[in-house]
Every structure is written in C-alpha cells, then in structure tokens.
Amino acid sequence: MHRLLGCIAAFVLLLPLARLDAAQAISFDIDARELPRKLLRTRMTFPVQPGTNSFYYPKWIPGIHAPRGPIENLAGLRFSTPDGKTLPWSRDEVELYRFQVEVPAGAYELVAELDYITNQPNSNSSSVDSFGNAFIGTINLNTCVLYPATVTNAAAVRYRASLRLPPGWKHASALTVSDAGETITFAPVTLEVLIDSPIIAGEHLRSHTFKPTGFPPVHYHLNSESAAALQLGDNRLKQFEALAVQGMKLFQTAPFDAYHFLVNASDDFPGMGLEHTASSLNGVPETTFTDDKKWAIYIDVLPHELVHAWCGKWRRPIGMVTGNYHDDNKTGGLWVYEGLTQYLGHLLHVRSGMASPEENLQQLARTISRLQLQKGRQWRPLKDTAVDSWHLRGGSKSWEYLRRRQDYYNEGLFVWLEVDAILRGATNSEKSLDDFCAIFFRHQPGDGLVKAFDYDEVVAELNRLHQFDWDAFFEERVFATQAALPLTAVERLGYRIEYGTTPSDWHKLIEGNSKYADAYESLGIAVRESGEIIDVIPGSPADHAKLAPGQQLAGVNGRKFSLARFREGIADTPTRREIGFLVLKGDLYATVTVPYDAGPKFMKLVRNPDKPDLIGAIFKAK
C-alpha cells in the first residue's frame, strides 16, 4: 500500500510536465535591454501543483566539462503567483543549484523572475556566460533560465522564448524566429535545444551565407564594436567558404539543418570557443578579420568548433550524456571528444587554406615539442587529464609541466594523428581517419541530438577499417603513465625531428603576440616582457639552478633585463658556457648562474625521403 501511494504521489507530481509536453511550452521572456549596463533579466511561467516545487539552475553545461554553471552571478530570484503574490523560496543546503518554493492551494502556475549580472565569468564559464557593453552582447541562455527538478529528459520539455534588445541592435542565433517585431519571438524548442542555442547581438552585426552543394547552408555571423573590424577581403570569404565545404566533405552527413558561426570580434569580451549542435560561440580579438597576424593565431577556433557539431555534440562519450543539467558527468572520454576534435579541427584549418602547409609543419613541431617536455606524464596518464579536466582548466598555471595541463587537447591531437598515420600506412592510404569520420559520425534522418558512444565502439570501428592491436596502442598512449612521449608517429608520417638555432616564423609570431621569450627547449624556461618567469621545465638547466615560476628576472649577464638581452644571453652560452641572472625572489635579490653551453634550440620537422609524406597527404584539401 505504501508503494502504491508513493507511485500515485509521483504521478500527481508529474502531471504538470505531462500537460506541458503535450500541449504547451514554458513561457521564457528575456529582457536584454540593459546588457550595456551588464544586467540581464528573465521571466518564466511554469505549470505547477500546489505544495513543494523544486527548480534547478543549470550546473553541468555541455562544453565546459565542469559543474560550474555561473550561479554566483544571480542578482535576483523571485517566485510569485500569476496574480502577483510573492512566494518565499529556499536553497538546498547541499545541492546549491536547487531551489524550493511552496505553491499555495489552488495555484497551478508559478512565475519565476531572475536577474543576472553579466561579464563576470568564473574560471570555467567564459564560453557559457553572458556579456554586454554599449555596442554588442552575448546571451548564453543557461545563465538566465530555471527548469523543474522533475526533468529527467531535457528533450521532452519545451520553452517558448522571446527577446528584447537595446534599440538598433540586430541578433543572430540558431533559434528560429517566428515574429521579428520589437519583441523577437522564437519558435518553441526543447530545453535541450534552448541551452544549446546562444545569441549574439549588436549594432554592426553582419552575416555571410555559404551553401555547399548537397549540404546544409553555413552562416557566419560577425559582431564587433567597430563596423571597420568586420570588413572582409575576398580571401577571407574564400577561406570561410572552403571551411564549410571541407567540413561537409569530411563528415559527408550533417546533424543540423543549417550551421551558424556566432563570432564576437572584441577586445572587451574574453577569447572563447564553445560548441553547439547547430552553432558555435566564438570570441576573437577585435582586429582578427583585418590583421593577418591575428587571423593566423586566432581563427583556428572556428574549424575546431565546427568539428564539435559531430564530435562532442552529435556523438558524445556515454559518461557525458545525461537527461538534465545537474547530474554529474564523467569526463574521461575527452581524449576522444576534445582530442579527436583538436586533430580534425587542425585538419580543416589547413584543408580550408586558413593555414599553409609550411605553417602546419611549424605548428605541429611546436605542439610535439611541448608534449615532449611534459614531465607530468610520468605520474598521471593522459586519461586523468580528462577525468580531472575542470580542475586543470581552472587551476594555477604554475609548474604546468610538472602537474600537466589539459593535455587531452593537444596530446589527443597527436594520438589521433598517429591513428591516421597507422591506417594510411597499413592500407597504402586506401583507408584513413576520413573514412572513420564518415562512418562513426554518420547522421540519419530521425536521429536525435545526441548519440552516445563508448570506448569499445571506437575500437570496433577502427578494426573494421584495419585490424590492429588498438587496445595496446591506446593503453600506452592514453591509459598508462609514460617515461617519455612516444615519437613513433613522427617516423610513420615520413618525418624526423631535428633542432635548429633559429625559431620558426610561427614560433616568432606567437612570442611577438604574447610578448614573451620561449626558451623551453634550451634553458627550460619562458619569460614575460616584464621579466616574470612564466614556467620552468622539470629537469632542465633552469630547474637545476632553482629558478621558479613567478620569480622576476631583473638582469641578464650583468645588464638590465630585456627580452632581447635574454635571447642574446642564450646565444652567447656556447662561448660563456653559462648565463647569469639577477633574480627577484619575493623581497630578496639573488644572483643565479645557470650552467648551459648549447645555445638556442628549436624543434623542427624534417622530411625523411625514405618514407611517404603522410602529412602532405593527410592535410591535402578534398
């Protein structure tokens, strides 16, 4: 009898949601007119039953891989009946994202009003936060929405959103507009689609559309405080079009009806990139579209986020598929979710012409160099950087080559580059990771927004392309600690590693943009323009001399510090056999001598003429 009564009570509690699914949508009114003042206000109307009703603020937002929905920026939360009677609420003292409110007898609707302070992201939330200034704005709907705690399937609850913007502002989003008046009304969508659909807006927003033959259209929506920042030359437009074409040719089917790049070019908003199924939210410096150097450094975020529509959104590791935004995720599969995306995004970056073949080689060499210097692999495997992703993303930058960073990105790239090399080398290039993508990420009519996968499916699909001991390969590369980075990929690709005394153009570009000197491969140190030591490589000459991150170099070989003198000092080491620093350690000045005699060192990839050039084959446009 107790179980029967419990079932009846549960059924009654779910009645409002049942009516909602069948006949109506939650009203969700967004007032963004005060975005220039860094405020965002929303009003929602929920069907409820009298008694205790609970609501969640989104906690696990897809894409940030962390329970860090920016709840700390709530500035007002009010519940009331439709006739205006205020209802008290309380927060769960253990699950801080959950709120409870008592609905009086006879009330079957509940109004929730939420005020949100924008422009204050936490260490994980930049890409899912909301931002505004006098000219442009970004609205991530997870920042200003609640959902009933009874929701177990975000695809079964619908919201009808409306939006009001500052006068003169235009907007862009993957959401469908049903009424474009002063108040913009969107067609009803599920909670899943709502949170998956950010909005950008501004005075100067411009859009460009490309329609690859046989594939859905791709829209580029560009937003900036300055209209001049959005003036694109023909070459930029050709590369945008090529990115759309190459992406579609790689995957062959699409999990969307149209794709929207939402790009803020602003120095006021943080740099960002976040994947969504039918769009991506991207933040680059204001002059990215008009400055060749900025373009070279920052535009690779677009191909990366495009790939995520397939890898990470449509196909997602099973531990990261939940029916709501408060159940915990298991992020151990990020070496596929992000690692494979990092590789394929780099692939499209080159195939689209956004990066040249020479730039590609230089970028790969720099990536491999950094991975080779990573000593943290000796105590934690690559998978653990995925499992503990959000601590690494939000943690200290000090001693990163001892602790490890989010290596599932670039080391994941290197792993999947080697997978591609194995497939091509064993099949005389008849099979490749392109074939894997076309099969593994195939989307068919009627498929939902997400299809989970596990490790066994990845291995099985690779074995269908080529029988190989993939378990042993991934065990060594992903699941086990390592004494050093395995470099067999370089040989398989038809290259070898050499060191020169001159940095590549790509190395110099990165140094110049960030105003620092990178001597990781020689002294084992990198230094800012101010003289601050950024990091130290464990086991390097700088480490043996007891230099540490955060210390300040005040002098080099008896002269006042500058980046030029720092580089000159390293160049003189074959003669001097050492380099001397005046170092400020807290309040203490100390003289530190670093024994070293090898001069500057910079890794490069050099062709091995005895083997096929697989890098050239892999990155060739389709």
CATH of the domain at 131: 2.60.40.3650
- Which pLDDT score is estimated for 23? 46
- Which pLDDT score is estimated for 96? 98
Query: How do residues 277-320 score in pLDDT, each as one tens digit?
Result: 999 999 999 999 999 999 999 999 999 999 999 999 999 999 99
pLDDT band at 395 (very low <50, low <70, confident <90, very high): confident
pLDDT band at 5 (very low <50, low <70, confident <90, very high): very low
83 in a structural domain: yes
- Which pLDDT score is estimated for 161? 98
For 19, other C-beta atoms within 10 Å of its C-beta total 12
- Which pLDDT score is estimated for 9? 36
What is the average pLDDT score of the chain? 95
Rg from Cα positions in the chain: 26
Q: 571 CB contacts (<8 Å, ≥6 apart)? A: 501, 599, 600
Judgement on whether residues 142 and 270 belong to the same structural domain of the protein: yes
1 in a structural domain: no
Task: Give the residue from 262, 289, 308 where a domain finishes.
Answer: 308
Judgement on whether residues 512 and 493 belong to the same structural domain of the protein: no
> CA-based angle 64:96:131, to the nearest 5?
45
Q: 102 with 88: CB under 8 angstroms?
A: yes
Judgement on whether residues 359 and 437 belong to the same structural domain of the protein: yes
Residue 292 burial by Cβ neighbours in a 10 Å radius (0-12, 13-18, 19+) = exposed
pLDDT > 50? residue 616: yes
Q: Alpha carbon 148 to chain centroid distance? A: 28
Q: 435 CB contacts (<8 Å, ≥6 apart)? A: 423, 465
- Which pLDDT score is estimated for 394? 77
- Which pLDDT score is estimated for 396? 79
Stated pTM of the model: 0.94
Judgement on whether residues 75 and 223 belong to the same structural domain of the protein: yes
pLDDT > 50? residue 474: yes
Judgement on whether residues 554 and 433 belong to the same structural domain of the protein: no
Mean pLDDT of 99-122: 97
Cα separation, 261 vs 302, whole angstroms? 8
127 in a structural domain: yes
Judgement on whether residues 197 and 143 belong to the same structural domain of the protein: yes
- Which pLDDT score is estimated for 525? 98
Query: Among 413, 414, 486, 426, which Cα is nearest to 462's?
Result: 426
Query: How do residues 409-464 score in pLDDT, each as one tens digit?
Result: 999 999 999 999 999 999 999 999 999 999 999 999 989 899 999 999 999 999 99
Mean pLDDT of 99-118: 97
Structure tokens that stand for 2 in this block: 């107790």
Q: 24 CB contacts (<8 Å, ≥6 apart)? A: 47, 158
> CA-based angle 97:283:171, to the nearest 5?
80
Query: How do residues 79-97 score in pLDDT, each as one tens digit?
Result: 999 999 999 999 999 999 9
For residue 349, the enclosing domain spans: 315-500+606-618
What is the domain count for the chain?
3
DSSP class per residue in 30-50: EE-TTGGGTEEEEEEEEE--S
- Which pLDDT score is estimated for 7? 38
For 183, other C-beta atoms within 10 Å of its C-beta total 13
Judgement on whether residues 463 and 340 belong to the same structural domain of the protein: yes
Mean pLDDT of 396-408: 94
Q: How many CA atoms lie within 13 A of 104 on its CB side?
A: 11
Judgement on whether residues 105 and 161 belong to the same structural domain of the protein: yes
Query: Among 308, 279, 339, which Cα is nearest to 63's?
Result: 308
Query: How do residues 179-211 score in pLDDT, each as one tens digit?
Result: 888 999 999 999 999 999 999 999 999 999 999
Cα separation, 207 vs 225, whole angstroms? 15
Judgement on whether residues 409 and 290 belong to the same structural domain of the protein: no
Torsion of CA 296, 297, 302, 303, to 10 degrees: 70
Judgement on whether residues 586 and 523 belong to the same structural domain of the protein: yes
- Which pLDDT score is estimated for 13? 36
Among the ranges given (1-15, 340-354, 558-572), the one the predictor scored with the smallest mean pLDDT: 1-15
Judgement on whether residues 329 and 430 belong to the same structural domain of the protein: yes
- Which pLDDT score is estimated for 266? 98
Q: Hey, CA dihedral for 346, 347, 348, 350, is it positive or negative?
A: positive
Cα separation, 266 vs 228, whole angstroms? 12
Q: 338 CB contacts (<8 Å, ≥6 apart)? A: 312, 386, 406, 408, 409, 412
439 in a structural domain: yes
Rounded to the nearest 10 degrees, the angle between the axes of helix 410-426 and helix 339-351 is 70
- Tell me the CATH number at 384: 1.10.390.10
Query: Among 163, 133, 138, which Cα is nearest to 42's?
Result: 163
Across the chain, how many H-helices and E-strands are there?
Answer: 21, 33
Torsion of CA 322, 255, 364, 459, to 10 degrees: 60
- Which pLDDT score is estimated for 19? 38
Task: Give the residue from 257, 289, 308 where a domain finishes.
Answer: 308
19 in a structural domain: yes
- Tell me the CATH number at 574: 2.30.42.10
- Which pLDDT score is estimated for 398? 93
Structure tokens that stand for 347 in this block: 């692939």
Q: 390 with 68: CB under 8 angstroms?
A: yes
pLDDT > 60? residue 16: no
551 in a structural domain: yes
Q: 389 with 336: CB under 8 angstroms?
A: no
483 in a structural domain: yes
pLDDT > 90? residue 397: no
Chain position carrying tokens 């603020």:
57
Mean pLDDT of 9-29: 54
Cα separation, 312 vs 305, whole angstroms? 10
Task: Give the residue from 277, 308, 339 where a domain finishes.
Answer: 308
Structure tokens that stand for 370 in this block: 């950094």
Judgement on whether residues 28 and 129 belong to the same structural domain of the protein: yes
253 in a structural domain: yes
